[in-house]
Amino acid sequence: MSAALFLAQRLTAAILAVAVLAHLVLIIAAERAGLTAGAILARTHHNLVLLAFYVVFVVAAAVHAPIGLRNVLVEWAGLQGRGLDLAMAALALLLLGLGLTAALAVYAA
Amino acid sequence: MSSSPSGGQPLAVSISRGRGERFDEFAVPRREHQTVLDVVTEIQREQDETLCYRFACRVGMCGSCAMIVNGQPRWTCRTRVSEAVDRKGRLRLEPLRNLPVIKDLAVEMTPFFDKWRDAKGFFEPGAAPPQDFVKVAPSSPQRQAADEGIECINCGVCYAACEVVAWNPDYLGPAALNRAWTLVNDERDQGQGARLAAVTAAEGCQSCHTHMSCTELCPKALQPTYAIAGLKRLALRRAFGRKPSPDKSPDQSPDRQG
Protein backbone atom coordinates (compact mmCIF):
# COMPACT_ATOMS: atom_id res chain seq x y z
CA MET A 1 0.00 0.00 0.00
CA SER A 2 1.43 3.37 -0.96
CA ALA A 3 1.81 6.13 1.62
CA ALA A 4 -0.97 8.12 -0.08
CA LEU A 5 -3.44 5.22 0.13
CA PHE A 6 -2.35 4.52 3.70
CA LEU A 7 -3.00 8.13 4.65
CA ALA A 8 -6.35 8.22 2.83
CA GLN A 9 -7.49 5.05 4.54
CA ARG A 10 -6.49 6.21 8.02
CA LEU A 11 -8.12 9.62 7.58
CA THR A 12 -11.37 8.16 6.27
CA ALA A 13 -11.32 5.56 9.06
CA ALA A 14 -11.28 8.40 11.59
CA ILE A 15 -14.24 10.05 9.85
CA LEU A 16 -16.15 6.78 9.57
CA ALA A 17 -15.65 5.93 13.23
CA VAL A 18 -17.62 9.06 14.14
CA ALA A 19 -20.04 8.90 11.20
CA VAL A 20 -21.07 5.28 11.75
CA LEU A 21 -21.67 5.95 15.43
CA ALA A 22 -23.77 9.04 14.70
CA HIS A 23 -25.70 7.13 12.02
CA LEU A 24 -26.50 4.29 14.42
CA VAL A 25 -27.55 6.68 17.18
CA LEU A 26 -29.81 8.45 14.68
CA ILE A 27 -31.43 5.20 13.54
CA ILE A 28 -31.96 3.91 17.08
CA ALA A 29 -33.33 7.26 18.27
CA ALA A 30 -35.76 7.43 15.33
CA GLU A 31 -36.90 3.87 15.88
CA ARG A 32 -37.38 4.30 19.63
CA ALA A 33 -39.34 7.48 19.03
CA GLY A 34 -41.70 5.47 16.85
CA LEU A 35 -41.27 7.68 13.80
CA THR A 36 -42.84 6.51 10.56
CA ALA A 37 -41.00 6.67 7.24
CA GLY A 38 -43.06 9.69 6.34
CA ALA A 39 -42.20 11.43 9.60
CA ILE A 40 -38.49 10.74 9.07
CA LEU A 41 -38.58 12.07 5.51
CA ALA A 42 -40.39 15.16 6.75
CA ARG A 43 -37.43 15.83 9.05
CA THR A 44 -34.78 15.14 6.40
CA HIS A 45 -36.54 17.24 3.74
CA HIS A 46 -34.26 20.14 2.79
CA ASN A 47 -32.18 19.55 5.90
CA LEU A 48 -28.74 20.80 4.86
CA VAL A 49 -27.03 19.59 8.04
CA LEU A 50 -28.12 16.00 7.45
CA LEU A 51 -27.24 16.26 3.77
CA ALA A 52 -23.75 17.51 4.59
CA PHE A 53 -23.31 14.75 7.18
CA TYR A 54 -24.31 11.99 4.77
CA VAL A 55 -22.26 13.41 1.90
CA VAL A 56 -19.16 13.33 4.13
CA PHE A 57 -20.15 9.80 5.25
CA VAL A 58 -20.56 8.58 1.67
CA VAL A 59 -17.34 10.14 0.43
CA ALA A 60 -15.37 8.65 3.33
CA ALA A 61 -16.90 5.20 2.74
CA ALA A 62 -16.27 5.41 -1.01
CA VAL A 63 -12.59 6.13 -0.37
CA HIS A 64 -12.11 3.76 2.57
CA ALA A 65 -13.77 0.58 1.34
CA PRO A 66 -11.95 0.16 -2.01
CA ILE A 67 -8.55 0.73 -0.38
CA GLY A 68 -9.27 -1.94 2.20
CA LEU A 69 -10.68 -4.36 -0.37
CA ARG A 70 -7.67 -3.73 -2.61
CA ASN A 71 -5.38 -4.65 0.27
CA VAL A 72 -7.31 -7.85 0.92
CA LEU A 73 -7.17 -8.81 -2.77
CA VAL A 74 -3.43 -8.08 -2.97
CA GLU A 75 -2.60 -10.09 0.14
CA TRP A 76 -5.11 -12.91 0.00
CA ALA A 77 -5.73 -13.37 -3.71
CA GLY A 78 -2.34 -12.26 -5.05
CA LEU A 79 -3.93 -9.73 -7.38
CA GLN A 80 -2.11 -6.59 -8.45
CA GLY A 81 -1.55 -4.24 -11.34
CA ARG A 82 -3.52 -1.66 -13.27
CA GLY A 83 -6.58 -3.87 -13.66
CA LEU A 84 -6.98 -4.12 -9.90
CA ASP A 85 -6.55 -0.35 -9.48
CA LEU A 86 -9.15 0.34 -12.16
CA ALA A 87 -11.58 -2.13 -10.61
CA MET A 88 -11.17 -0.48 -7.22
CA ALA A 89 -11.61 2.98 -8.76
CA ALA A 90 -14.82 1.72 -10.37
CA LEU A 91 -15.98 0.40 -7.00
CA ALA A 92 -15.24 3.79 -5.43
CA LEU A 93 -17.31 5.52 -8.10
CA LEU A 94 -20.14 3.02 -7.67
CA LEU A 95 -20.24 3.54 -3.90
CA LEU A 96 -20.03 7.28 -4.38
CA GLY A 97 -22.83 7.29 -6.97
CA LEU A 98 -25.18 5.07 -5.00
CA GLY A 99 -24.49 6.85 -1.72
CA LEU A 100 -24.89 10.37 -3.05
CA THR A 101 -28.05 9.37 -4.90
CA ALA A 102 -29.54 8.10 -1.65
CA ALA A 103 -28.44 11.16 0.34
CA LEU A 104 -29.86 13.54 -2.28
CA ALA A 105 -33.07 11.55 -2.56
CA VAL A 106 -33.68 11.77 1.19
CA TYR A 107 -32.84 15.48 1.12
CA ALA A 108 -35.18 16.20 -1.78
CA ALA A 109 -38.02 13.88 -0.71
CA MET B 1 19.65 -46.18 19.84
CA SER B 2 16.56 -46.06 22.01
CA SER B 3 17.75 -45.78 25.61
CA SER B 4 17.60 -42.39 27.29
CA PRO B 5 20.35 -41.46 29.76
CA SER B 6 17.82 -39.33 31.66
CA GLY B 7 15.35 -42.23 31.67
CA GLY B 8 11.92 -42.54 30.07
CA GLN B 9 10.90 -42.86 26.47
CA PRO B 10 13.11 -41.56 23.69
CA LEU B 11 12.06 -38.32 22.07
CA ALA B 12 9.96 -38.64 18.90
CA VAL B 13 11.14 -36.15 16.29
CA SER B 14 9.57 -35.38 12.88
CA ILE B 15 11.83 -33.49 10.49
CA SER B 16 10.90 -31.93 7.17
CA ARG B 17 13.12 -33.34 4.43
CA GLY B 18 14.16 -32.16 1.01
CA ARG B 19 12.12 -29.12 0.15
CA GLY B 20 9.20 -30.12 2.29
CA GLU B 21 8.37 -33.26 0.31
CA ARG B 22 8.05 -35.45 3.39
CA PHE B 23 8.66 -35.78 7.11
CA ASP B 24 11.11 -38.34 8.45
CA GLU B 25 10.68 -39.77 11.93
CA PHE B 26 13.51 -40.19 14.42
CA ALA B 27 13.80 -41.39 18.01
CA VAL B 28 16.42 -39.59 20.08
CA PRO B 29 17.49 -40.31 23.65
CA ARG B 30 16.32 -37.70 26.14
CA ARG B 31 19.13 -35.93 27.95
CA GLU B 32 19.17 -33.40 30.75
CA HIS B 33 19.06 -29.76 29.55
CA GLN B 34 18.94 -31.00 25.96
CA THR B 35 18.34 -28.27 23.36
CA VAL B 36 16.58 -28.70 20.04
CA LEU B 37 19.90 -28.07 18.30
CA ASP B 38 21.42 -30.89 20.38
CA VAL B 39 18.68 -33.16 19.04
CA VAL B 40 19.26 -32.20 15.41
CA THR B 41 23.01 -32.58 15.79
CA GLU B 42 22.63 -35.98 17.42
CA ILE B 43 20.35 -37.17 14.61
CA GLN B 44 22.83 -36.04 11.98
CA ARG B 45 25.83 -37.60 13.74
CA GLU B 46 24.23 -40.82 14.91
CA GLN B 47 21.32 -41.61 12.61
CA ASP B 48 21.27 -39.76 9.29
CA GLU B 49 24.34 -37.96 8.08
CA THR B 50 22.44 -36.58 5.08
CA LEU B 51 20.35 -34.31 7.32
CA CYS B 52 21.02 -30.72 6.34
CA TYR B 53 20.81 -27.84 8.82
CA ARG B 54 22.73 -24.71 9.72
CA PHE B 55 24.36 -23.60 12.96
CA ALA B 56 27.55 -21.93 14.12
CA CYS B 57 27.93 -20.54 17.65
CA ARG B 58 25.46 -22.75 19.62
CA VAL B 59 25.12 -20.01 22.26
CA GLY B 60 22.58 -17.56 20.83
CA MET B 61 25.00 -15.13 19.25
CA CYS B 62 25.02 -15.90 15.54
CA GLY B 63 21.33 -16.46 14.81
CA SER B 64 22.00 -19.11 12.17
CA CYS B 65 20.20 -22.08 13.77
CA ALA B 66 16.64 -20.71 13.60
CA MET B 67 13.98 -23.22 12.55
CA ILE B 68 10.28 -23.80 12.96
CA VAL B 69 9.91 -25.83 16.15
CA ASN B 70 6.41 -27.21 16.66
CA GLY B 71 4.97 -24.42 14.54
CA GLN B 72 6.97 -21.50 15.94
CA PRO B 73 10.17 -19.96 14.61
CA ARG B 74 12.83 -20.18 17.30
CA TRP B 75 16.56 -20.36 17.85
CA THR B 76 17.13 -24.06 18.30
CA CYS B 77 20.33 -23.54 20.32
CA ARG B 78 18.44 -21.57 22.97
CA THR B 79 15.31 -23.71 22.99
CA ARG B 80 15.26 -26.58 25.42
CA VAL B 81 13.40 -29.67 24.34
CA SER B 82 11.43 -29.65 27.58
CA GLU B 83 9.89 -26.25 26.77
CA ALA B 84 9.24 -26.93 23.10
CA VAL B 85 7.64 -30.39 22.94
CA ASP B 86 3.93 -30.76 22.26
CA ARG B 87 1.45 -32.39 24.65
CA LYS B 88 2.56 -35.83 23.59
CA GLY B 89 6.21 -34.96 24.08
CA ARG B 90 7.07 -34.80 20.37
CA LEU B 91 9.12 -32.39 18.27
CA ARG B 92 8.26 -31.32 14.73
CA LEU B 93 11.03 -29.42 12.96
CA GLU B 94 10.68 -27.47 9.72
CA PRO B 95 12.76 -24.85 7.92
CA LEU B 96 11.99 -21.16 8.47
CA ARG B 97 8.88 -19.95 6.64
CA ASN B 98 8.86 -17.25 3.96
CA LEU B 99 12.31 -18.19 2.62
CA PRO B 100 13.31 -20.66 -0.11
CA VAL B 101 14.37 -24.02 1.27
CA ILE B 102 17.79 -25.25 0.21
CA LYS B 103 17.46 -28.68 1.79
CA ASP B 104 15.82 -30.09 4.89
CA LEU B 105 16.18 -27.43 7.60
CA ALA B 106 18.47 -24.98 5.79
CA VAL B 107 16.95 -21.96 4.03
CA GLU B 108 18.31 -19.48 1.54
CA MET B 109 18.72 -16.14 3.37
CA THR B 110 19.41 -14.04 0.27
CA PRO B 111 15.86 -12.63 -0.05
CA PHE B 112 16.00 -11.64 3.61
CA PHE B 113 19.21 -9.66 3.18
CA ASP B 114 18.10 -8.24 -0.17
CA LYS B 115 15.31 -6.54 1.74
CA TRP B 116 17.77 -5.05 4.21
CA ARG B 117 19.50 -3.52 1.23
CA ASP B 118 16.20 -2.40 -0.34
CA ALA B 119 15.17 -0.72 2.92
CA LYS B 120 18.53 1.14 2.93
CA GLY B 121 19.40 -0.76 6.08
CA PHE B 122 23.02 0.34 5.97
CA PHE B 123 24.80 3.39 7.36
CA GLU B 124 25.34 6.15 4.82
CA PRO B 125 28.28 8.27 5.96
CA GLY B 126 27.91 10.98 3.29
CA ALA B 127 30.61 12.46 1.12
CA ALA B 128 32.91 13.76 3.84
CA PRO B 129 32.51 11.78 7.07
CA PRO B 130 35.20 13.64 9.05
CA GLN B 131 33.38 16.93 8.45
CA ASP B 132 30.00 15.42 9.34
CA PHE B 133 31.05 14.49 12.85
CA VAL B 134 28.11 14.53 15.25
CA LYS B 135 28.14 14.11 18.99
CA VAL B 136 25.43 11.64 19.98
CA ALA B 137 24.39 11.80 23.61
CA PRO B 138 23.51 8.33 24.93
CA SER B 139 20.53 9.87 26.69
CA SER B 140 19.07 11.54 23.59
CA PRO B 141 15.61 10.26 22.55
CA GLN B 142 16.88 9.35 19.11
CA ARG B 143 19.81 7.37 20.45
CA GLN B 144 17.53 5.55 22.88
CA ALA B 145 15.06 4.76 20.07
CA ALA B 146 17.94 3.33 18.04
CA ASP B 147 19.22 1.39 21.06
CA GLU B 148 15.90 -0.43 21.36
CA GLY B 149 16.35 -2.05 17.96
CA ILE B 150 20.09 -2.19 17.45
CA GLU B 151 20.73 -5.67 18.88
CA CYS B 152 19.21 -7.54 15.93
CA ILE B 153 21.48 -10.37 14.76
CA ASN B 154 19.60 -11.16 11.52
CA CYS B 155 18.36 -14.59 12.53
CA GLY B 156 15.19 -14.32 10.43
CA VAL B 157 12.79 -15.45 13.17
CA CYS B 158 10.65 -12.31 12.84
CA TYR B 159 10.62 -12.64 9.06
CA ALA B 160 9.45 -16.24 9.30
CA ALA B 161 6.82 -15.23 11.86
CA CYS B 162 5.40 -12.39 9.75
CA GLU B 163 2.01 -13.16 8.19
CA VAL B 164 2.25 -10.13 5.91
CA VAL B 165 5.45 -11.47 4.32
CA ALA B 166 3.62 -14.77 3.79
CA TRP B 167 0.79 -12.95 2.00
CA ASN B 168 2.93 -10.46 0.12
CA PRO B 169 6.47 -11.69 -0.58
CA ASP B 170 7.52 -8.19 -1.66
CA TYR B 171 6.84 -6.70 1.79
CA LEU B 172 10.14 -5.58 3.30
CA GLY B 173 9.47 -7.37 6.56
CA PRO B 174 10.10 -6.57 10.23
CA ALA B 175 13.88 -7.05 10.36
CA ALA B 176 14.69 -4.70 7.48
CA LEU B 177 12.24 -2.07 8.71
CA ASN B 178 13.55 -2.34 12.26
CA ARG B 179 17.07 -1.81 10.95
CA ALA B 180 15.91 1.17 8.91
CA TRP B 181 14.30 2.64 12.04
CA THR B 182 17.58 2.46 13.96
CA LEU B 183 19.29 4.33 11.11
CA VAL B 184 16.48 6.90 10.83
CA ASN B 185 17.35 7.73 14.44
CA ASP B 186 21.08 7.97 13.69
CA GLU B 187 21.97 11.67 13.54
CA ARG B 188 25.20 10.92 11.68
CA ASP B 189 23.49 9.19 8.76
CA GLN B 190 23.32 11.18 5.52
CA GLY B 191 21.00 8.93 3.57
CA GLN B 192 17.66 9.67 5.22
CA GLY B 193 15.85 10.87 2.10
CA ALA B 194 16.47 7.69 0.15
CA ARG B 195 15.76 5.55 3.22
CA LEU B 196 12.41 7.18 3.93
CA ALA B 197 11.46 6.86 0.28
CA ALA B 198 12.34 3.15 0.44
CA VAL B 199 10.51 2.32 3.65
CA THR B 200 7.40 4.30 2.69
CA ALA B 201 7.14 2.80 -0.80
CA ALA B 202 4.28 0.46 -1.66
CA GLU B 203 5.89 -2.58 0.00
CA GLY B 204 7.13 -0.66 3.02
CA CYS B 205 5.98 0.05 6.54
CA GLN B 206 2.35 0.83 5.61
CA SER B 207 1.78 -2.83 4.77
CA CYS B 208 2.32 -3.91 8.39
CA HIS B 209 -0.92 -5.12 10.00
CA THR B 210 0.43 -4.83 13.55
CA HIS B 211 -0.16 -8.52 14.25
CA MET B 212 2.95 -8.29 16.45
CA SER B 213 4.15 -11.83 15.73
CA CYS B 214 7.65 -10.41 15.19
CA THR B 215 7.65 -8.69 18.57
CA GLU B 216 6.14 -11.73 20.25
CA LEU B 217 8.72 -14.16 18.90
CA CYS B 218 11.94 -12.13 18.60
CA PRO B 219 14.55 -14.12 20.58
CA LYS B 220 16.31 -10.84 21.42
CA ALA B 221 13.07 -9.35 22.77
CA LEU B 222 13.26 -6.52 20.26
CA GLN B 223 10.10 -4.75 19.15
CA PRO B 224 10.00 -4.46 15.36
CA THR B 225 6.29 -3.63 15.51
CA TYR B 226 7.04 -0.40 17.36
CA ALA B 227 9.92 0.41 15.04
CA ILE B 228 7.51 0.03 12.12
CA ALA B 229 4.96 2.20 13.94
CA GLY B 230 7.65 4.87 14.17
CA LEU B 231 8.25 4.62 10.44
CA LYS B 232 4.50 4.90 9.83
CA ARG B 233 4.45 8.16 11.77
CA LEU B 234 7.27 9.42 9.60
CA ALA B 235 5.38 8.29 6.50
CA LEU B 236 2.38 10.34 7.60
CA ARG B 237 4.55 13.40 8.25
CA ARG B 238 6.09 12.92 4.85
CA ALA B 239 2.65 12.60 3.21
CA PHE B 240 1.57 15.84 4.91
CA GLY B 241 4.70 17.51 3.61
CA ARG B 242 6.20 18.02 7.05
CA LYS B 243 9.89 17.51 7.69
CA PRO B 244 10.18 13.80 8.44
CA SER B 245 12.14 14.07 11.66
CA PRO B 246 12.45 10.88 13.70
CA ASP B 247 10.34 10.25 16.72
CA LYS B 248 11.21 12.78 19.42
CA SER B 249 8.89 11.34 22.00
CA PRO B 250 9.90 7.82 23.00
CA ASP B 251 7.78 8.24 26.13
CA GLN B 252 4.75 7.80 23.89
CA SER B 253 5.89 4.43 22.71
CA PRO B 254 4.35 1.36 24.36
CA ASP B 255 5.68 0.43 27.76
CA ARG B 256 7.00 -2.96 26.92
CA GLN B 257 10.75 -3.14 27.27
CA GLY B 258 13.05 -5.67 25.70
* CATH value at residue A58: 1.20.1300
Question: DSSP label at B69?
Answer: E
CB-CB neighbours of A106 under 10 Å: 17
Residues B199 and B76 reside in one and the same domain? no
Give the C-alpha distances (Å, rounded to integers) separating B144 from B33, B137, B140, B217: 36, 9, 6, 22
Contact B168/A5, CB-based, under 8 Å?
Answer: no
| Domain total of chain B | 2
pLDDT tens digit sequence for B223-234: 999 999 999 998
Whether residue B3 lies inside any domain: the answer is: no
Q: Cβ of A101: how many Cβ atoms within 10 Å?
A: 11
Test B206 with A74 for CB contact under 8 angstroms. no
pLDDT in tens, A61-82: 999 999 999 999 998 898 888 9
Identify the domain containing residue B54 by its residue range: 11-107
CB atoms B239 and A5 under 8 Å: no
A87 touches chain B (CB under 8 A): no
What is the pLDDT confidence band of residue B37, given thresholds at 50, 70 and 90? very high
Residues B68 and B114 in one domain: no
| Residue B38 buriedness (CB in 10 A; 0-12 / 13-18 / 19+) | middle
Domain that holds residue A16: 3-108
B199-216 tens-digit pLDDT: 999 899 999 999 999 999
Give the pLDDT confidence of B116-128 residue by residue, as tens digits: 999 999 999 888 8
- Closest A-chain CA to B232: A3
- Kindly give the parts of chain A with pLDDT less than 50: none
**Chain B, nearest residue to A10 by Cα:** B236
Q: Is A6 on the interface with B (CB under 8 A)?
A: yes
Other CB atoms within 10 Å distance of the CB of residue B156: 23
For residues B222 and B151, is the Cβ–Cβ distance under 8 A?
yes
Whether residue A10 lies within 8 A of chain B, CB to CB, comes out as yes
Claim to verify: residue B137 and residue B91 sit in the same structural domain: no
Helix axes A3-32, A48-77, angle to 10 degrees: 130
Say yes or no: B145 and B226 in one domain.
yes
What's the pLDDT score for residue B135? 86
Query: Residue A55: what pLDDT?
Result: 97
The C-alpha atoms of residue B16 and residue B22 are separated, in whole angstroms, by: 6
**What distance in Å separates the CA atoms of residue B166 and residue A18, rounded to the nearest whole number?**
34
- Identify the closest residue of chain A to B164 by CA–CA distance: A75
Contact A6 B202 (CB under 8 A): no
